[in-house]
Structure 1
Amino acid sequence: MPRTAPLTTDDLSAGAPVHTPAASGEWWRDAVIYQVYPRSFADGNGDGIGDLPGVTAKLDHLQQLGVDAVWLSPFYRSPQKDAGYDVADYRDIDPLFGTLEDFDEMLAGAHERGLRIIVDLVPNHSSDQHVWFQEALAAAPGSDARERYMFREGRGPAGDEPPNNWQSIFGGPAWTRLAPAEHDGPLGPQWYLHLFDSSQPDLNWENPEVRAEFEAVLRFWLDRGVDGFRVDVAHGMVKAPGLPDWEGHVSMVEGTVDDGHEQVTDPSAPEDGSTGAGHAGPMFDQDGVHEIYRAWHRVLAEYPGDRCLVAEAWVEPLSRLARYVRPDEMHQAFNFSFLTAPWDAAKMRAVVDVSLDTMDAVSAPTTWVLSNHDVVRHASRFGLAEIGGRQLNGIAATDPQPDAELGLRRARAATLLMLALPGSAYLYQGEELGLPDHTALPAEVRQDPSFFRTDGAEPGRDGCRVPLPWVGGAPGNGFGPTGTTWLPQPDVYADLAADRQYGVKGSTYEMYRTALELRRSERIGAGALSWVDALSDSPDVVAFRVAGVVVISNLGAAPLTLPAEAEVLVASGDLDTSSDAVALSSDTTVWLHA
């Protein structure tokens, strides 16, 4: 039953800790890490596309916000078929974003401000413009050049059928056949595997040359001074032996899948905490990936400063995800079970409980995230009547539209809940401004390859990648000196621009800044967590104690009266003070001393 009686201080007592922090003090165990998507963060040269000088110019914003580190999405030399996740040269900067000197200046500026820098690494596939793939195209079947990628003979008498039935995450077949050449085998041109776009051929991680090359790439960036790597598709480099057929289909958001079986969407089962954010296809989460990460761990251990590896692995159950962060492998793994959890108190508690328990078992921090460059921003997602499924992939103008007011209210509440959880938290650029997705982008401006490979059936991820507003009402809302933006901004971005929120009491930016300041001063990220016993079974409330702070999230419709003597530290929304008592309104989170 929903709680109706006023809370007392005694009600806020907690049981035994369900999580205690690790004794070691590596920075990444409780860091707040801010994702910069460079092409949409800030434009330094006026071409309408964000760049590294733009990042450097906005480092003060990140320092004042109070984050500990910055993760940069790919900036490598690339034909930009998939916004830089198609890498042509892993050791150079694409001219779109600047130069290696610009990178060094940005890195030095970040370190001067106490900000660490994590860079994206894309090891599952390269661009088809990479020198290796160009060599493979010119080489014969069975050659060393071909062995760097996943080339196979076709099926059927003439080899004109794909080697298996796998589908691309971006839509359509996962195999492309080469054009005829003089050196073709008896079955004609070979096929190559691409789990993403056809311009992104999968590398062959059974090949020692591939493994040696990526260890050299790690050293190149470590020698320049980066603090870690976020590893794209970390669960995908090794494929099942024989590349067997599979009747399932993985969607554009790598973790959502239809494998022909009923999906687990209720995380209340304590044995795994599944939410449907994982899959079991033969192209993902193979045991062989762990040998790769043990080798990478040894490389990073040669460098000072607790360098870290972060796994982007859409893997469930969480016991499978925990294997990526065992002590001799990676250091963090994104918790997509938390990201995909619905707005439901019981399910939120279950995901948190199982996440902490599972990661504690391997002495790894739990890593919390609500938004990134691949999913609908949580300010829009929580405004939808139904949350999850394809709505993670993007929202089109013809789709049911989010309730903007409800979405922002719930997003702010979810953020305060997330930032109070022990471990490491990730923020996606612009969420500190309360930015929604652009849900009305016309087809002619969209650029995500999934939109084109599915003939528009998937709206794609462009809506969460719109350039940030820095100066409300200025051309392009201050994104760059010319006002040009590579994607159009929605009208609401002017009111949500950074300059209109700095110093404004109650603004989303000031809520984030206050919460991050408290998180640091109260040592919340490194704290022990205990559930508040009186509310542990509530259908409407998530409540816990962490590092001496009481955190209460009211997900129900009725207000919840707080103890009169409690000291409010920060709240995600206005508290109801219409009576003698202070009430926590619906869809609101509060941090208290009580």
Structure 2
Amino acid sequence: MTDVLDSSPNPDTRDNDADAGATWWRQATVYQIYPRSFSDANGDGIGDLTGITSRVPYLKQLGVNAVWLSPFYPSALADGGYDVDDYRDVDPKIGTLDDFDEMIATLHEANIKLIADIVPNHSSDRHVWFQQALAAGKGSPERERYIFRDGLGENGEIPPSDWISMFGGPAWSRVEDGQWYLHLFAKEQPDFNWKNPEVHEDFLKTLRFWSDRGVDGFRVDVAHGCAKELPDVLPTQAELDATPTTDGKHPIWDRNEVHDIYAEWRQVLDEYDPPRTAVAEAWVDSAERRARYASPNELGQAFNFDLLEADFDAGQFLEIVSTNLAEAQIAGSSTTWVFSNHDVVRHATRYGLPARGGRDVKQGSEWLLSGGTEPELDIATGLRRARAASLFMLGLPGSAYLYQGEELGLGEVADIPADQHQDPAYFHNPGVDPGRDGCRVPLPWTVDGPSFGFGPARAHLPQPEWFGSLSVEAESGDPSSTLNLYRRALALRAELQTAESLEWQGSDARSVLHFRRANGWEVVTNFGPEAIPLPAGEVLVSSGLLDDGTLPGETTVWLRN
């Protein structure tokens, strides 16, 4: 034994049932649904809430504790729904509030919680507040809800700064009366001014609106960006890039004042029984900074993207797991684990490409830009490593976040025609950013049909022919399929998951990680290419076939002793 790591405040008295009480989220398995690409019930090629409701039996059989629903609000889809027109309604293209109520009731009947995405950094430019700001003019109270500035130059024709948006191009756009507004993302996503009390009050109203409808928690988009302190003379982009983001004083990112916002939110979330949970999407530079978002006095949990950014490498995984469990213990939270989501190349593809040295969220971008030809993708290796990594992750204490389709072993779709892309990042940085459409292609449910069972019509993003072989229908009857691996692992996880701790076990091979949980549960991953002797114990599940008492390379096994 090399170390004992415990992330629970009191593992002996903590509620161990992932579905019970105020602590259900601490070790829950959460399944992210990108609504427009999950299931299409009305045949318009776009996924909808009724489609999600129809697939609840699938989610129940899979064994997840909660669903995280990416934005479902009215939107022009300038950024996949993260440009929100109305925070307290449903996009008519995907349903109604009645459909939402039916969906959440069906999920709850299946003992599945719902986490809703909330987007506090920016709205859509179609939001009623932004339209009022445009109509009211310079200096008006309506404009104070957003960040407007006069331009530079003799007639204000030069933007207030040379800042570049996250999607490329200027971060300022000019309106008819000559002022400029800030948008850290697409121009259709004006940033809120969180110094304005009206913004605070409106988001508290939104939290109550959805909590009253039964939402169990919230995923907070760009949680580290809301609080801003912009001086009269703005820094250049170069100066902004050179400003540290580790002390809470950066003009835009991870300012100390942002925590006042989430302390205010926590008061509202605690009005409910059980309290509503929340998880921050906070891309910050240190474990200490991230822990503040995960404090019980704020959101309660924060995304840990470290495994997502890592190579398939034992040393990197060991450091990341040890660091984040220690961080979670300090914060009084539980950590989160994730390999794929709606913003990154799927990990079954990433692991089939040459390693990039770790900490690279953009891994796979070059391959996408080439249309999936350069560098060469090793599909079999990618899937084998993805299965091993996922089984390793599902054995860890903390919350496991899955992205729709990873349970099928789906890889990235690289050859989407240029005229069928939808992501603004693709259009704002032609030839530089491949966009995120490749991980948002609608799921295959059947082996054939116009959209592989996604719906009666062709899907809104093109699905490749190979999707049929990875469909739910194709994999359900195959005991060795990735889908059935996830089903077995999640059933065992629900049975075995107890205290939020692990004990690292010694190994003669540097490419092997071996840890022990409670109940005699052990997880062993061989990251190397060569087989090793299989440790003693009853085999519960493995990510690949086991040969003659050995654990093959790039394979994980769960044992019980």
Asked whether the two chains share a fold, i.e. TM above 0.5, the reply is: yes
Report what 2:20 is aligned to.
Answer: none
1:145-184 alignment runs, 5 A limit: 145-179=142-176, 181=177
1:282-321 alignment runs, 5 A limit: 282-321=251-290
Report what 2:510 is aligned to.
Answer: 539
Q: Is the CA contact (8 Å cut-off) linking 2:388 and 2:543 kept in structure 1?
A: yes
CA positional deviation for 1:241: 3.7
CA positional deviation for 1:157: 3.0
CA positional deviation for 1:168: 0.4
Counterpart of 1:566 (choices 534, 537, 548) is 537
Counterpart of 2:124 (choices 123, 127, 135) is 127
Secondary structure in structure 1 of the residue aligned to 2:32 = strand
1:443-522 alignment runs, 5 A limit: 443-482=418-457, 484-522=458-496
- Does structure 1 residue 245 correspond to structure 2 residue 245? no
Q: Is the CA contact (8 Å cut-off) linking 1:374 and 1:393 kept in structure 2?
A: no
CA positional deviation for 1:400: 2.4
* Distance in 2 between residues matched to 1:444 and 1:332, nearest whole Å: 39
Change in 2 beyond 3 A, CA 1:334/1:514: same
CA positional deviation for 1:541: 1.3
Q: Is the CA contact (8 Å cut-off) linking 2:8 and 2:333 kept in structure 1?
A: no
CA positional deviation for 1:297: 0.4
Q: Is the CA contact (8 Å cut-off) linking 1:451 and 1:459 kept in structure 2?
A: yes
Amino acid at match of 2:497: R
Counterpart of 1:583 (choices 540, 544, 550) is 550
Report what 2:220 is aligned to.
Answer: 231
Stretches of structure 2 that go unaligned for 5 or more consecutive residues are: 16-22
Q: Is the CA contact (8 Å cut-off) linking 1:279 and 1:314 kept in structure 2?
A: no
Amino acid at match of 2:260: E
1:13-412 alignment runs, 5 A limit: 14-23=1-10, 24-25=14-15, 26-179=23-176, 181=177, 189-242=178-231, 244-247=234-237, 259=241, 282-387=251-356, 388=360, 390-391=362-363, 395-396=368-369, 397=371, 399-412=374-387
Change in 2 beyond 3 A, CA 1:300/1:166: same
Secondary structure in structure 1 of the residue aligned to 2:539 = strand
Secondary structure in structure 2 of the residue aligned to 1:506 = coil
* Distance in 1 between residues matched to 2:169 and 2:219, nearest whole Å: 27
CA positional deviation for 1:407: 0.6
The worse-fitting range, judged by mean Cα deviation, of 453-462 and 419-428 is 453-462
CA positional deviation for 1:476: 1.0
* Distance in 2 between residues matched to 1:135 and 1:238, nearest whole Å: 22
Change in 2 beyond 3 A, CA 1:75/1:393: farther
Q: Is the CA contact (8 Å cut-off) linking 1:413 and 1:553 kept in structure 2?
A: yes
1:418-433 alignment runs, 5 A limit: 418-433=393-408
Q: Is the CA contact (8 Å cut-off) linking 1:167 and 1:249 kept in structure 2?
A: no
The worse-fitting range, judged by mean Cα deviation, of 287-296 and 238-247 is 238-247
C-alpha deviations, 1:318-362, integer Å up to 9, x for none?
111111111200111111122101111111100111111111111
Change in 2 beyond 3 A, CA 1:310/1:527: closer
Secondary structure in structure 2 of the residue aligned to 1:71 = strand
Change in 2 beyond 3 A, CA 1:20/1:320: closer
Report what 2:19 is aligned to.
Answer: none
CA positional deviation for 1:502: 1.3
C-alpha deviations, 1:213-270, integer Å up to 9, x for none?
00001111011110011011111111234174254599xxxxxxxx46999xxxxxxx
* Distance in 2 between residues matched to 1:508 and 1:443, nearest whole Å: 31
Amino acid at match of 1:439: A
* Distance in 2 between residues matched to 1:567 and 1:34, nearest whole Å: 29
Change in 2 beyond 3 A, CA 1:164/1:459: same
Change in 2 beyond 3 A, CA 1:287/1:214: same
Secondary structure in structure 2 of the residue aligned to 1:466 = coil
C-alpha deviations, 1:290-324, integer Å up to 9, x for none?
00000000001001123101101111211111111
C-alpha deviations, 1:471-517, integer Å up to 9, x for none?
112221111023x1001112221000001111421110111011111
How many matched pairs?
Answer: 543
Secondary structure in structure 1 of the residue aligned to 2:541 = strand
Q: Is the CA contact (8 Å cut-off) linking 1:121 and 1:232 kept in structure 2?
A: yes
* Distance in 2 between residues matched to 1:64 and 1:288, nearest whole Å: 43
CA positional deviation for 1:539: 2.9
* Distance in 2 between residues matched to 1:399 and 1:312, nearest whole Å: 31
Secondary structure in structure 1 of the residue aligned to 2:297 = coil
* Distance in 1 between residues matched to 2:236 and 2:248, nearest whole Å: 12
Q: Is the CA contact (8 Å cut-off) linking 2:224 and 2:258 kept in structure 1?
A: yes
Report what 1:530 is aligned to.
Answer: 503
Give identity over the alignment, percent: 52
Stretches of structure 1 that go unaligned for 5 or more consecutive residues are: 1-13, 182-188, 251-258, 264-271, 273-277
Amino acid at match of 2:25: W
Secondary structure in structure 2 of the residue aligned to 1:353 = helix
Report what 2:412 is aligned to.
Answer: 437
* Distance in 2 between residues matched to 1:503 and 1:306, nearest whole Å: 40
Amino acid at match of 1:54: G
Q: Is the CA contact (8 Å cut-off) linking 1:559 and 1:585 kept in structure 2?
A: yes
Q: Is the CA contact (8 Å cut-off) linking 2:507 and 2:513 kept in structure 1?
A: no
Secondary structure in structure 1 of the residue aligned to 2:79 = coil
* Distance in 2 between residues matched to 1:307 and 1:592, nearest whole Å: 35
Secondary structure in structure 2 of the residue aligned to 1:365 = coil
* Distance in 1 between residues matched to 2:330 and 2:346, nearest whole Å: 31
Amino acid at match of 1:590: V
Secondary structure in structure 1 of the residue aligned to 2:89 = strand
CA positional deviation for 1:420: 0.6
Amino acid at match of 2:552: S
Secondary structure in structure 2 of the residue aligned to 1:478 = coil
CA positional deviation for 1:20: 4.8
Counterpart of 2:524 (choices 552, 576, 583) is 552
- Does structure 1 residue 413 correspond to structure 2 residue 388? yes
C-alpha deviations, 1:440-497, integer Å up to 9, x for none?
1121111100111112421100000000000112221111023x10011122210000
CA positional deviation for 1:279: 12
* Distance in 2 between residues matched to 1:227 and 1:412, nearest whole Å: 30
Report what 1:266 is aligned to.
Answer: none
* Distance in 2 between residues matched to 1:393 and 1:202, nearest whole Å: 27
